[in-house]
């Protein structure tokens, strides 16, 4: 994303929305798009489609050529925590469809190295290095380090498992992914690096937080404005990597 002459990234506010202390919100109550119920469409899918059609972040993502509305979450966290620095070496875990990779490239600039890895294929993103594979495997990890030509400055993970609707089960599943991402970050991050991962409301597990606080200078939770209010997702933002496990 291009910077303003003052060196600051442009505002991530969405057109037609006004900024408030609590984040962007609709400037007025525009008429919502409603769909006729199609034969064979469930009530749940009907509501999801209506929400997508009326979501200003979805509309703005399409207008800007971003592959997901989730891209705004990373932009907003970067605005607050200044994660993506010029020339950064960034790893995007579970990158598909590539929204966070696009933001990383735009904000870290032409000299950055951004590696996106996912089990699923990701359509080419100019400037990004795409790896299809399992980041838990040693060969994939070595491929990431080779692509970066060194250690990473930032490891990102927006990974989430399929939800079951059972809060305790969903919490355990997403924490398992977060722990795997943290383990990977501990092996590839350069001293002073950062780590961002998704968790669920209710906070992170004590052991997980203890590991983060041991290995990073600053650990915070964040819920960016682009994260839907009815979503239980939160993000852990850890900066100042101390250089390895004890």
Q: How far is 141 from 117, CA to CA, in rounded Å?
A: 10
Does 244 appear as a known binding residue? no
Q: How far is 197 from 134, CA to CA, in rounded Å?
A: 17
Does 55 appear as a known binding residue? no
Active site residue 213: no
If DSSP codes are grouped into helix, strand and coil, which group holds residue 15? Answer: coil
Does 118 appear as a known binding residue? yes
Q: Using alpha carbons only, what angle is made at residue 168 by residues 231 and 73, rounded to the nearest 5 degrees?
A: 25
Does 98 appear as a known binding residue? yes
In what helix (H) or strand (E) does residue 216 lie, and over which residues does it extend? Answer: strand 216-222
Does 100 appear as a known binding residue? yes
Which residues are registered as beta bridge partners of 235? 198, 222
Marked catalytic residue, from 198, 213, 229, 245: 198
Main-chain phi, psi angles of 239, to 5 degrees:
-130, 160
Q: List binding-site positions for S-adenosyl-L-methionine.
A: 98, 100, 118, 134, 158
Q: List binding-site positions.
A: 98, 100, 118, 134, 158
Active site residues: 198
């Amino acid at each position: 994303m291009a910077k303003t002459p003052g060196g600051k990234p442009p505002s991530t506010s969405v057109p037609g929305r006004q900024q408030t202390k609590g984040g962007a919100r609709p400037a007025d109550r525009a008429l919502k798009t409603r769909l006729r119920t199609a034969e064979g469409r469930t009530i749940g899918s009907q509501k999801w489609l209506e929400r997508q059609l009326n979501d200003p972040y979805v509309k703005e993502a399409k207008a800007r050529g971003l592959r997901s509305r989730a891209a705004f979450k990373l932009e907003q966290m970067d605005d607050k925590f200044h994660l993506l620095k010029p020339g950064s070496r960034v790893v995007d875990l579970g990158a598909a469809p590539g929204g966070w990779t696009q933001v990383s490239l735009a904000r870290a600039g032409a000299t950055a190295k951004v590696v996106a890895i996912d089990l699923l294929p990701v359509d080419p993103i100019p400037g990004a290095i795409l790896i299809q594979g399992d980041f838990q495997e040693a060969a994939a990890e070595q491929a990431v380090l080779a692509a970066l030509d060194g250690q990473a400055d930032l490891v990102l993970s927006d990974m989430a498992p399929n939800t079951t609707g059972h809060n305790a089960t969903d919490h355990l599943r997403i924490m398992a992914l977060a722990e795997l991402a943290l383990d990977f970050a501990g092996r590839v991050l350069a001293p002073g690096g950062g780590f961002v991962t998704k968790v669920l409301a209710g906070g992170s597990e004590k052991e997980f937080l203890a590991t983060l606080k041991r290995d990073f200078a600053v650990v915070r939770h964040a819920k960016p404005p682009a994260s839907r209010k009815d979503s239980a997702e939160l993000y852990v933002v850890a900066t100042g990597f101390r250089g390895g496990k004890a």
